[in-house]
Amino acid sequence: MDARPEVPSVAGVGEFGLITQVTAHLRQGPSVLLGPGDDAAVVAVPDGRVVVTTDVLVEGRHFRRDFSSAGDVGHRAAAQGLADVAAMGAEATALVVGLAVPGSLEAAWVLELAEGMAAECDLVGASIVGGDVVGADTVVVSVTALGDLVGRTPVTRAGARPGDVVAVAGRLGWAAGGLAVLQRGFRMPRALVEAHRRPLPPYAAGPRAALAGAHAMCDVSDGLLADLGHVAEASGVCVDVDPGRLEIAQPLRDAGAALGIDPLAWVLTGGDDHALVACFPLDEQLPEGYAPVGRVLATGEPGEVLVAGAAWTGERGHAHFR
């Protein structure tokens, strides 16, 4: 019997060999003046201001290789940063990636990871312009995303005002439902599993909200209640969420029934869908893609998020070190 052909590992390919293979296939957009290959990249900043955000994914905590392919992890890693840029009302231009991996890891896994990240960047016209690769005992992916405000004022978490309409663009609860399904050893409903593996952030909704005059905005990465809590605290207001306005899609209902979980909990507290939640003036028409889910109150405890006028007694979402 013929021996199984040896699969090149990261250690076998070497640091610079791996970087060469990864960067050979990266596409560079018009904002990139100098791409990978030098000490640093050069990216054009026509606006004169740069939006910058960083996210870190750790194997076993943020992803599992038995749940997700390398391409899935690449999509998720890029999506986190790209969604944060969109939540400022900006347009993503470039990503810088830090990667720590065991030397025994197959080099093909890293190449597939890079392909997934590049494909996610293609959705918004951003480019991967550089990064670093180091050895480690587990896989860690760090992504720094850069964005351009295109002359607009950044939409922060601190501008919500009493009377504002709270609205959401994108899906809520799907990724959390998918993770719950996978953790129980199932692979269905497939739509939820795929939502956990590869989120679908509404990138265009961020700049659209800025143009529509949104007072405040946030990426929903930790859960609607948790991230609205950041908005409420930064703005010094109280927010009330109307659960009757939240969409609970059929796949969530099916999974909830099968697992004995109220799917509303996923919608309210589940993260990683990277929907956008924004606060708009009451009398203004909501931009395309946004649906109202609550109000900013003129009364109540600053920083508090209510559900149907009452305090939420459970966990509000994901929090590290809890």
Domains of the chain: 10-148 (3.30.1330.10), 165-311 (3.90.650.10)
Distance, in Å, from the CA atom of 276 to the CA atom of 307, rounded to the nearest integer, reads 18
Residue 318 pLDDT exceeds 90: no
Q: What is the mean pLDDT of residues 19-24?
A: 77
DSSP state of 149: -
The reported pLDDT for the residue numbered 5 is 53
Distance, in Å, from the CA atom of 318 to the CA atom of 270, rounded to the nearest integer, reads 8
Q: What is the mean pLDDT of residues 296-303?
A: 92
Give bridge partners of residue 54 from the DSSP assignment. Answer: 144
| pLDDT tens digits for range 127-155 | 999 999 999 999 999 999 999 999 999 99
Residue 195 pLDDT exceeds 90: yes
pTM, entire model: 0.92
Q: Select from 289, 245, 250 the least CA-distant residue to 268.
A: 245
Q: What is the mean pLDDT of residues 69-90?
A: 97
The reported pLDDT for the residue numbered 12 is 76
Distance, in Å, from the CA atom of 292 to the CA atom of 205, rounded to the nearest integer, reads 14
Residue 313 pLDDT grade (very low, low, confident, very high; cuts 50, 70, 90): confident
CA trace torsion 98, 104, 108, 114 (10° rounding): -10
Q: What is the mean pLDDT of residues 143-170?
A: 96
Residue 7 pLDDT grade (very low, low, confident, very high; cuts 50, 70, 90): low
Residue 241 pLDDT grade (very low, low, confident, very high; cuts 50, 70, 90): very high
Q: What is the mean pLDDT of residues 68-92?
A: 97
The reported pLDDT for the residue numbered 320 is 58
Q: Select from 301, 302, 305 the least CA-distant residue to 293.
A: 305
Residue 4 pLDDT grade (very low, low, confident, very high; cuts 50, 70, 90): very low
